[in-house]
Chain A
Amino acid sequence: MKPEVFQDILNESNFLNAELIQDNKFHFYHEGGVYRVRMPKQKELSEVNKAKNSFYVELLKTPNALSKDNLKKLLKESQGIDIEVMELELKELEESLYKVYLDLAGKKDANEEGIQKCKDKVSEINDKRFKLIEKISSYLTPSIEVQIENHYMEQLASICTDKLENSEKEEWKKVWNSFEEFMNDESTLRLYAVSLLAKLMMGVNA
């Protein structure tokens, strides 16, 4: 997804505030309609997990499908791109962040200049970290592991996205009737649903 689309989604969600946590749903507007993504129920999760496993087996049978480790090796051998060096760099950045944290924790409230200097360093280090994380994940996107994770989120989004049909009666209707219908939808709603669901779940697989 383009970064500006994701930023747009996050900006749009700013006005929700307490609604972010009052229930296990995420409400959003899209092209005049009101939508929500919700946490999957246990039964839905187990169904999606089954589909995830089948997709994994399918990928294993696919020629040229590479695991993360094998993709790292191939990138290093054929392109000279060393992911392990980048990961090491990431670790070093984390270490330098912790050093600044210890410095910042020792600053008194009155030392505004010192605090600001430390905060600037923190944001500089974090910028570098996020850029590096983005770079690593873009190189590893074709790997089996990332494809499975994306497929999993898409499956869940296809099940857990509803549209408000009647605001007075608060009637919600599923947006897509099948995963195929979801995949054939060429609107940006699909992207919104996947990224908002990922944000709502925050890595929780329940």
Chain B
Amino acid sequence: MNIESIIRKLARSHYWQTIYSSSKELDRISLFENSNDFSGLQFYFLNWLRIYAMLYSELSEYTDKKLTEKVIEDDCRCDAYLYYRRKKIEFDWKKHREKERLDELKSKHHFKNEGNVSLIDVNVGEE
């Protein structure tokens, strides 16, 4: 097992997840012995603590059928899920922006009868 895998295993452990969530509520709990000059490994660990806390929270809310406990526990499947999740967020955001643009266009032109309106990008060359 390489160092990255060991750190991820520690970060998703019940022990560290509990300490992490408690440290957000209680000031007196500190995660490390040092309070400055953090190492790269500590930053890496903190990043994974945050990611796993987010995934466990989403798992408890059943936000996505693709997310299961087994996915979280397997580094490769977890990486794959995180990539899929990022793409999904990007896609949803793009859809949301398009809807906003469409609504803006509709309100601008005061369409009386609502029909099927779609928005397309037209390349009109350089302005």
Contact = CB atoms under 8 A, between A and B. Distances in A.
A14 interface: yes
A22 B32 contact: yes
B80 A23 contact: no
B123 interface: no
B14 to A, nearest CB: 14
Contacts of B71: 109
Contacts of B1: 14
A18 B10 contact: yes
Interface stretch (A50-58, A100-108, A166-174): A100-108
30 contacts: A10-B2, A10-B3, A17-B6, A20-B41, A22-B33, A24-B32, A24-B34, A24-B42, A25-B39, A26-B41, A39-B34, A39-B38, A39-B39, A40-B37, A98-B83, A101-B84, A102-B84, A105-B66, A107-B77, A109-B68, A109-B70, A109-B71, A119-B76, A199-B3, A199-B40, A201-B39, A202-B41, A203-B40, A204-B38, A204-B43
A21 B45 contact: yes
Nearest to A103: B80
A122 B77 CA distance: 10
Nearest to B83: A101
Contacts of A122: 76, 80
Interface in B14-52: 32-34, 37-45
A39 B37 contact: yes
Contacts of A101: 79-80, 83-84
Interface of B: 1-3, 6-7, 10, 32-34, 37-45, 66, 68, 70-71, 76-77, 79-81, 83-85, 87
Contact of A102 (B3, B37, B41, B80): B80
Given A21-B7, A21-B45, A106 B77 contact: no
A20 B34 contact: no
A88 interface: no
Nearest to A45: B37
Contact of B39 (A24, A98, A105, A119): A24
A23 B33 contact: yes
Contacts of B10: 17-18, 20-21
Given A10-B2, A101-B84, A21 B37 contact: no
A13 interface: yes
A41 B87 CA distance: 39
B32 A20 contact: no
A105 B34 contact: no
Given A109-B68, A204-B39, A23 B6 contact: no
Contact of B41 (A14, A104, A118, A200): A200
Nearest to B88: A105
